[in-house]
Structure 1
Amino acid sequence: MKMYQSKLEQYVQFLSPRRRHGRNFLDLPDDIRCHIYRLTGVVRKCPIYLYWDPRENRNILGANGDPMPCLTASASDLDCDCHEVLDRYYYRPIPVSLFCCSRDVYREASSLFYGNNRFYVQYTGLGSFDAMMGLRPKTLAMISYLHIVLHRTNKDSSLSNCNCEDQEIRRHPLRRMPPRRYRDLISGWKAVCMRLAESITQSRLEMCLICDTDDINVAAEVLGPLRQLPLLAAFSVRFAPPRSTRNIPIDNSLHVNLYHMAREVSMGITGRTSNHHNQTFKYNLLPAELQLRILEHTALVAPEGYLAWSPGSGFSSLDELYGYRWEPQLHRCRICDPLRIMCCLPMLPKGGTWVSQCNKCWKFPLSLFLVNRHFYQEATRIFWSLNRFVVFDIEAYPSDVIGPFPPILEPVQLTAFMSPYAMRYLRYLQFNSPPTRGKALEAYKVMVELLRRSADLPRLTITLDLRGIESYEYEYQDPISEEQEIQTYLELYMPSVIELVPLRALKDFFVHIGTLRSWRYCVENKHALWERRLETMVMGMEYRSPERVKRDVLYAMV
C-alpha cells in the first residue's frame, strides 16, 4: 500500500495578498525614514535595560506590556525621556512589531536601535547577564555604548536634599563575602568579557563600568578580564563614588593604588599608551603661524567657545556646568555622568576614585602653561582672548573638599586667578545674576576696578544677564501696577549697572532682563526699551548696541 503525505493546499485555498501599487515606506529618503524610526521609539535617551529584574519577574528588554517605573528617571543617573503619568515616569515600550515588518525594515531599525542607544546591564543575581549573553555576535558588534554595573553602593540621602523614591537597603562595597554571590558575579563577568571579545569591533564600543569596592584584590579580578577586549573607543571605571571619599586623606594608599590600577587598564584598553611616537620634532622650529594654529586647536579653547567660572569649582565648560551641576538631564557626556552624578546638592564637587578616558570632557590645560616662559605667554594670550567667560555665583559659598582624586581647591574669586598680564587679553566677560548687596557686591566692585585698570576696554565686551534676578517683595500681595513693578526691579538692577559706569570705553555692553509679570502687551518692545536704557546708563546716551551681535550671544547661551 502506497503512503503519501497530503498537503494543506489540497483542502484550503490561500489567497495571496494584493500587491500595492505606488511608493512604499522604503522609497522614502534615508533621513525621513530615520526620523520616523526615532519618533516610534527606536532611538531614545533613556537606556535600554539588558538584565533580568527579579522585582518585575521579567526581562526589561522585552517589556511591552503594562508600564513599569523607569529606574533612570527615579535615580537621576542618566538622561531619560520616559512618559510621565501621575508624577511618575514609566519606561516606554520598545516597538517590537517594527522589527517584524520586513527584512529591510529590520535591518535599518536594528542598526539604529543598537548603534544609537545606551544599553544598561546591572548584576542583581544569578542570570543577570543572560539577556546580554543571548544576543548574537552581529548584534553585539552593532552596540556603541554599554553601561555595566557589577556592584553599586546605595545613594546616601542623608548627605543631600534628595527625594528619590528608590530607597534601597544599605549596601557595602563589594567584597569576597558571601563567597557564592561573589563567585557567581565574577564567573558571569568573565563570560561577558569573553563574549564581547569575540563579537565587538575595534574602536567602536564605549564602556562605562561601575564596581564600588575597597578591596584591591577584588578590583584586580574585575579589571583582569577586560584585557582580552579589543581597543575601545572610550572607557571609564569607578571603584568609589564621589561622596564616599569625602573624609579620606589624599595620601590614602588604598585609593591611590585603586586609582592607578584603574588608570593603567583604562589607558591600555583605549590604546592611549601605544599612541606615543618614538620620533619627535622640535616645536620651536615650526613657523610662528603654525605654532599658533596648533595651540588654538588644543584645550586652550573650549569646544563651545564658552567657559564658566564658579568660586566653588573653578573653570568648566559651559555645557558641563549647565548640564551636570544644575540640570543633569541636559548633560551630554554619557561616559562620565554615571560615574560622578549622584543624588546630592547641585554644586557637587568632583571626587571619588574613578577614571575616564573620554575626549569629550574639557579639562583645564595646566601643562601648557608650565612648559616654559614662551609657552606660558602664548597660552595665556590664546586662553583669555579666544574664550568667552561666564561668571556664576559671585558670592563664594564654602564647600567640602572631596578627595583624593582630583583635589578640590577652596572657593576663590576669578580676580584672584587672573593676573593683570592676562586681564589685558580678555575679550568677552559675562556676569550671570550679578550680586546686588552684601559682600558679594563688594567683590563685584573689586573686579570692576581691576578691569578698569588692567583690561583693554576698547576691545572688551561685557554682558549682564539679569534674567535670574527676581523680586519676592510683592509675591504674596495683591497685583501691582506696571510702574510699581518696574521701579522695584530697577532698584535690584541699579547696583550692578551703576558699578560699570567707569568702564564707558567698552567695545560693547549688553544687558538682558527678564519679563515682568505686568507686561501683557508689546513685550518685545518693552524689553528692548528698558535694556537700552540700562545700556546707555553705562555707555552714554548715543550708544546703540548691535542687535544682531547681542541676539547671537544670547542664543548661544540658551
Structure 2
Amino acid sequence: MGGSSTQATITMATTTSGPQKQPPPMLLRLSPHIRRCIYLHAGLASWDGRPYTFDLHGRNCGCGDRTCESNRRPQCGGLMLSCRTLHAEAAALLYSANRFTLYYSHRGSLEPLRALTAPSLASLATLKIVLNEASCHSPARFAHGEDCCFADRLEGRRSGIAPGSSCQTLHGAMLSEWHSTAAYLSSRVGPGRLELLLVCDVDHEHERGLEAGKLAVAPLLLLPRLRNCHVRLCKTPDARLQQLAQDVVLQTRRIAAPHLQPPSTRARTTFASLPRELRLRILEYTDLITPNKEVAWSRQQRGYLPSRVVCSAPDFGHCRGPGIHSGHQFYRCWDRHEPGNWRYRPWGGCFCRRYHSAFSSACRCWAPPGPALFLVCRTLCWDAQFVFFSGNRFVVHDFDDIRPWRVPELQPEHPGPGAAATGYYPYERFAASQFLRDVVPARCLANLRFVELVFPPYPHQVWPRTAHAAAQDWWATVDWVRDKINAPALTVRVVVADDMPGDPRMDRVNITYPEGEAILRTYVRILRPPRRLGDDGLAGFYADFILPWSSTRAIKNIWLRGGIICERWKYWERGLKARSERYVMRDRYESLYANGKEEPAQSVWRRLYEQPG
C-alpha cells in the first residue's frame, strides 16, 4: 500500500508540473475597440479616417507639406512581431486604411511589394506604382512649388521610355519585373478590392512608343477585377495611347469598352442618315459645348481652353456664382480638393486627359474633341464645326487668359528706330488677328455667334500707334473677314481688363492726364476697323473700356468717400462705354438697349474681379 501511494503521488506531481497552455498576450485580453485605439495611437491609421500615404521603400509620401500627417512613420515594429493574431489585425488595418506608393528606379525596386505576405496583399486597398514619370508624379513635386501639369520646368526629369534607346536593357528589366510582380499580385488580391494607379510615361513620338505602352499595361490584365484603376501612359496627349489607357481601365474594372462589343448584324440607322436638326441636337450634348459655353484662346496658351474662374469656396461650398461653381468639376482635376477634406489635394498625382495620355474616373475635365470626330465624314465634320463655333462664345485674350491684367515686357532694352512713334507693343499682330485668320477655319467664321476681344491694361507707351505693324494688320484682318462672317448673327465685345484687384501697377497709379489721353486715342484706333463690321449689319457691339485714371490715388479716394463726386465718375465711365458703342453701331446704337434689351452676360473670366479677398 505504501508503495502504491508513493507512486501515485509521484505521478500526480509529474502531471501537475508538465507543459501548460500559455495565456494569451495582454493586448488580446482587451476589447477589439480598445485594441483599435492602440493601433491608431501607433500610427497604423488616422483617427479621422483620412488615409495616410506610405512609400513601400520607407520614404515619406513626398507631398512637401511639413505638417502633413502622411509623413508620419507607424510605430508598430514590435506590435507586428508580438504574435500572429496581433500581426494579422494590425496588418489588415494598415493596408486597408492607407495608400501605398512604389517607385521603380533600378532592378529590384518592386521587391518590397512581393515581400508582403498574402494576408497583407489581400487587405491592400490602394496602390500606386510609378514605373516611369516625366512630370506630376515626382515624390518632391510639391516641394518645388510647381503646379502639377507645369512640373516639366523642373530640371533633370526623365522624358519617357521607348524601346530601342540606350536604356533598352533597363527598360526590358523593368517591364519583366513589373510582369512578375503583377502575376504575384493576381493570386493574392481579392476581386473588387484594390484600387490601382499605374504611371508609365512612354515616348509617343518613337515608332515603337505604342508597343511600349501595350507592354506596360499588359500585366494589368492578369489581375482580378479592380475596384478602380487609373492609367497614364504619356506626359503629353496622344490619341492612340489615350485609347489604350481607356481600354485597359475598362477591362480591368470588367466594364466592356463600347467599341469592343460585337457589331449587330441587323440593319441600323446611321448617325449621318438622321435629319440635320437631330444630328446637331445630339452633338450639343458632346464635348463640343464646354461646361460654361465659353472657350478662351490666348497668345500664351495657343489652344482652345474652357473659360474658368478660380473660386475660394472650399469643398464646393458657398460661391458667388452657383452655376459657375458647379462647372468647376470639369477643370483641373489634379487640383480639386478631396471630398470632405478641402484642405488636402488629391494624392495620386495627375491623370488628367486634358494634359496627358491617361484615363481615370477622377478626371472629368473638358478637352477639345479629338480628330476622330472630324474625320468620320465631311458631313459630320461640318456639323461638329457648326456646333462648336456657334454654341460657344469665344474670348480671345491678347496676352494671358489666366491673369487678364498681366502685360508682357513693357519696353525692350534696345528699341528700334522709331519705336517711340509706333509704340512699344511687342508683337507684330493682335491676338484677335491671329485667332480670326489662323485659328478659326475660314469656312467656320460664318458660324461664330459671339466673340470677345480682351486686352490687358497696357501702359500708354506700349499701346500700338497707327503706324505699328499690329495696327496695320488689324485693319487688314477686319477687311479680310467682312465677306466671311455672318455679321447679322455675330455679336462682338471689346474689353480692356482692369488691374489685378487690390494691386494696381505703379504706372497706372502715377499716370498723368496727357498719358491717359493717349490711351483714349488708342481705344479709338482699335475701334476703327470694327466700325466697318457695324456698317455690314453687325448684330451687336459692346465695349468695356477702363478710364486710364481709374487707379490713381485721387480716384481711389473718390471711391472711398463716395457721394456726388463718385456718381460723377460712374457717369464718365458710362459715357465712355456709350460713345464707344455708338462709334461702331452708328444709328443702330439705340437698338442695342431698346425694348428692355440688356447687354449679354459678362464672361466667366470677369468673375476673377468678384472673388472675395
**TM-score over 0.5 for the alignment?**
yes
* Distance in 2 (alpha carbons) for counterparts of 1:276 and 1:531: 64
**What's 1:538 paired with?**
580
Aligned to 1:209: 199
Deviations 1:264-312 (A, max 9, x none): 5753443534246435433355466543321211232224422233568
- The residue number in structure 2 matching 1:406 is none
Instruction: Choose from 365, 377, 385 the match for 2:390.
Output: 385
1:312–1:412 Cα contact (<8 Å) kept: no
1:270 match: secondary structure: helix
The separation in 1 between residues aligned to 2:297 and 2:508, in whole angstroms, is 39
CA offset digits 1:287-343 (Å, max 9, x no partner): 6654332121123222442223356875423269999xxxxxx832689985899xx
Name the amino acid aligned to 1:59: R
Query: Which letter maps to 2:221?
Result: R
Contact 1:122 1:148 in 2 (8 A): yes
Matched, 1:267 2:267: no
Which letter maps to 1:274? L
- 1:536 corresponds to which letter in structure 2? A
Match of 2:68 among 75, 92, 96: 92
Q: Which residue does the alignment assign to 1:249?
A: none
Aligned equivalents of 1:267, 1:6: Cα separation in 2: 56
- Match of 2:451, SS? strand
SS in 1 for 2:129: strand
Is 1:440 matched up with 2:416?
no
Aligned positions of 1:409-488 closer than 5 A? 413-418=435-440, 422-433=444-455, 436-437=463-464, 438-450=468-480, 452-467=482-497, 480=510, 483=513, 486-487=516-517
* Partner residue of 1:226 out of 187, 208, 220: 220
Query: Secondary structure of 2:247's match?
Result: helix
**Secondary structure at the residue paired with 1:278?**
coil
Q: Structure 1-normalised TM-score?
A: 0.56
Contact kept? 1:388, 1:428, Cα under 8 Å? yes
- 1:550 maps onto 2:595 in alignment: no
Note the C-alpha offset of 1:386: 0.7
Contact map agreement 2:199 2:232 (CA 8 A) in 1? yes
Question: How has the CA–CA distance of structure 1 residues 551 and 310 changed in structure 2, closer, same or farther, with 3 Å as cutoff?
Answer: closer
Bigger relative contact order, structure 1 or 2 (CA pairs below 8 A, ≥6 apart): 1
State the match for 1:516 in structure 2. 551
After TM superposition, the score normalised by the length of structure 2 is 0.51
Q: Is the 8 A contact 1:384 1:426 kept in 2?
A: yes
Name 2:525's counterpart in structure 1. Answer: 495
Query: Which residue number corresponds to residue 369 of structure 2?
Result: 364
Matches within 5 A, 1:229-308: 229=223, 235-238=230-233, 264=244, 267-271=247-251, 272=257, 273-275=259-261, 277-278=263-264, 280-283=268-271, 286=274, 289-308=277-296
- Corresponding letter in the other structure for 2:247: M
Which residues of structure 2 form unaligned runs of 5+? 1-12, 24-29, 31-45, 77-89, 139-149, 252-256, 312-330, 336-345, 401-407, 409-432, 583-588
Find the aligned partners of 2:248 and 2:304 in 1 and give their Cα distance.
Answer: 27
Structure 1 unmatched runs, 5+ = 8-13, 15-37, 53-57, 62-69, 73-81, 84-89, 101-105, 156-160, 244-255, 324-329, 342-348, 398-410
Residue of structure 2 in register with 1:246 after alignment: none
Match of 1:42 in 2: 50
Counterpart for residue 248 of structure 1: none
Is 2:60 the partner of 1:60?
A: yes
Q: Which amino acid aligns with 1:93?
A: E
Give the Cα–Cα distance (whole angstroms) in 2 for the partners of residues 369 and 128 of structure 1: 43
CA distance in 2, matches of 1:393, 1:209: 37
- AA at the equivalent of 2:218: G
Kindly indicate whether the alpha-carbon contact (under 8 Å) linking 1:501 and 1:538 is maintained by their aligned counterparts in 2.
no
Q: Could you tell me which residue of structure 2 aligns to residue 331 of structure 1?
A: 332
Structure 2: distance between partners of 1:185 and 1:373: 42
- 1:332-356 deviation digits (Å, cap 9, x = unpaired): 2689985899xxxxxxx98xxx743
Kindly provide the amino acid, as one letter, of the partner of residue 293 in structure 1: R
Residues 235 and 270 in structure 1, CA contact (< 8 A), matched pair in contact too? no
Distance 2:172 2:388 in 1: 49
Aligned length: 433
CA contact (8 A) 1:423 1:455 kept: yes
Residues 1:193 and 1:461: Cα distance change in structure 2 (over 3 Å): farther
Q: Is contact 1:305-1:387 (8 Å) kept?
A: yes
C-alpha spacing 1:129/1:433, structure 2 compared with 1 (3 Å) = farther
Output the CA distance in 1 between the equivalents of 2:491 and 2:378: 28
Deviation at 1:509, TM superposition (A): 1.5
Deviation per CA, 1:30-64, whole angstroms, max 9, x where unpaired?
Answer: xxxxxxxx998938xxx946342xxxxx4325xxx
The CA RMSD measured in Å over matched residues stands at: 6.1
- C-alpha distance in structure 1 between counterparts of 2:175 and 2:72, whole Å: 30
Cα distance in structure 2, aligned partners of 1:475 and 1:493: 20
Structure 2 CA distance, aligned partners of 1:456 and 1:39?
63
State the shift of 1:218 in Å: 6.8
**Alpha-carbon distance between aligned partners in 2 of 1:212 and 1:366, rounded to the nearest angstrom:** 22
